[in-house]
Chain A
């Protein structure tokens, strides 16, 4: 079977060949394999130099100080370290956290864990456009709030929150602000010298770097302190112990360098691909885009095909790799919590697909996807009793369905 065309760059990206080359130079006997923490010989010094160069490459992308970059195993660990680290260190000051209902599970589940430990969490609802308003954050702040965690770009629908404005609200209230930027870093400009953001999570494998590496940005001025979640040799200024994985870090550094260099050209190219995809589908009946397209990362689009169920739609599209807003693909039968939080009805949430394009997507790929999706939707609507009813002018909400 021919490999399907990849439309799931928001799930993960392939490693850029330039990144893979740099990584492969840090593995074997003749390469830069030393332990960056070894201070007594050249192997260690060379490894440390490579790790520090990578740290600088990350810092350049974010316009921050390299000393503010803490290496982790990925955005999930970064989110855990930021949220638990702040909550526990400052628990004497307060035990209240503000976040949103459409955060990544790494944030939500960490907050749930803290609730079980006696913390209180406010989960903000997005507007129907998918955005969290700074005013809503402001209204949720209390005397005992220590942390706000609101993501930059949502992974399912691609909307972009105004992290500059949310940061101003937090700074004015002297509350720390954490941003999960796994979907935005390397794809949109981020200037931490300007932004009032105290902590930011990044992932290597969402930006053509390897899996298993990420970064937590931790601001130095004003100083942010954390309770470490991983104890050991005191690496990363005591915030995250564990031998630094030179090849992974070098890979993420190189990925950041390339992303920064190519951001403007890649951004407009990716946006053009996304628009081509949407224009190829939006003339169909009962097809909707989810989330505000005016505040959107270039590469992601989430589309609902009403009266067609997402999992069967994916089954009809064996030649393209997309992800479904319907969680029927996982063990749970609930539709996406993100789409539901937008106030969308369950049928539409069950009928949605996320397409994400990236560095290696071509116009031909997009055109092939359009043709296949149109055929599949038409076929499944022929099979759908709901489509019949819609065509007969029956209001589906007027029917008493037996929930099961």
Chain B
């Protein structure tokens, strides 16, 4: 079983590992996957008043490809608008990390995670309004 250099890089030096305060209105949290399936991703975004993602953090329980997919995602979403970030496709992640077919679900999970985080943030925004 060989991992691509990109996966190994993110796996060995994961970017933006950590946790924001869930209760902060600036924070959107997406938690996807299930322990029983062997993958759980928690992706959090910090959004400013202009709807731009200023910062992102993740923690992932899962295989190397799942960890790499979420690490890469935190890099990609930073500086993007939430609308833009929600458009990220799993195929882009899979391509960047050169994931083999059996690991495509890891990139799908990452796509789900950013969508869930954006949705959570929007929900908080609407509740405040």
- A residues contacting B by CB (< 8 A) are 307-309, 311-312, 315, 326, 328-329, 331, 333, 335, 345-347, 350, 382-388, 396, 401-404
Contacts and interface: CB of A to CB of B under 8 A. Distances in A.
Contacts of A345: 36
A283 B104 CA distance: 37
Contact of B35 (A312, A346, A382, A388): A346
Contacts of A308: 61
B59 A388 contact: yes
A402 B30 CA distance: 12
A385 B19 CA distance: 9
B60 interface: yes
Given A309-B61, A333-B105, A347 B31 contact: no
Contacts of B115: none
B46 interface: no
A312 to B, nearest CB: 5
A326 B63 CA distance: 10
Contact of B67 (A326, A329, A383, A403): A383
Given A329-B1, A331-B102, A335-B38, A384 B33 contact: no
Interface of B, secondary structure class, is: mixed
B40 A386 contact: yes
Contacts of B36: 345-347, 350, 401, 403
Nearest to A348: B35
Given A307-B61, A333-B38, A404 B102 contact: no
Interface string B20-46: 000000000001111111111110000
| Shortest Cβ-Cβ A-B pairs, 8 listed | A401-B34, A346-B36, A347-B35, A385-B42, A311-B63, A385-B59, A350-B38, A384-B61
A383 B59 contact: yes
Counting chain B residues whose Cβ lies within 8 A of the other chain, the interface size class is 20 to 34
16 contacts: A308-B61, A309-B39, A312-B62, A312-B66, A326-B38, A328-B38, A328-B63, A350-B38, A383-B17, A383-B67, A384-B60, A388-B59, A401-B40, A402-B33, A403-B37, A404-B34
B125 to A, nearest CB: 23
A308 B39 CA distance: 10
Interface in B41-73: 41-42, 59-64, 66-67
Given A350-B35, A388-B59, A404-B33, A315 B40 contact: no
B60 A383 contact: yes
B17 to A, nearest CB: 6
A270 B96 CA distance: 45
A396 B31 CA distance: 13
Most chain B beta-carbon neighbours within 10 Å: one of A329, A331, A350, A387: A350
Nearest to B42: A385
A355 to B, nearest CB: 19
Contacts of A382: 17
Contacts of B66: 309, 312
Nearest to A404: B37
Most chain A beta-carbon neighbours within 10 Å: one of B19, B33, B64: B64
Given A331-B102, A333-B105, A404-B109, A309 B63 contact: yes
Given A346-B37, A347-B35, A402-B34, A315 B11 contact: yes
Nearest to B59: A385
Nearest to A401: B34
Contacts of B31: 385
Contacts of A315: 3, 11, 63-64
A311 B40 contact: no
Contacts of A307: 61
Contacts of B108: 404
B64 A312 contact: yes
A328 B3 CA distance: 13
A321 to B, nearest CB: 12
B6 to A, nearest CB: 14
A312 B38 CA distance: 10
Contacts of A384: 59-61
Given A383-B60, A386-B40, A402-B32, 7 more contacts: A311-B64, A315-B3, A333-B37, A385-B40, A386-B35, A401-B40, A403-B34
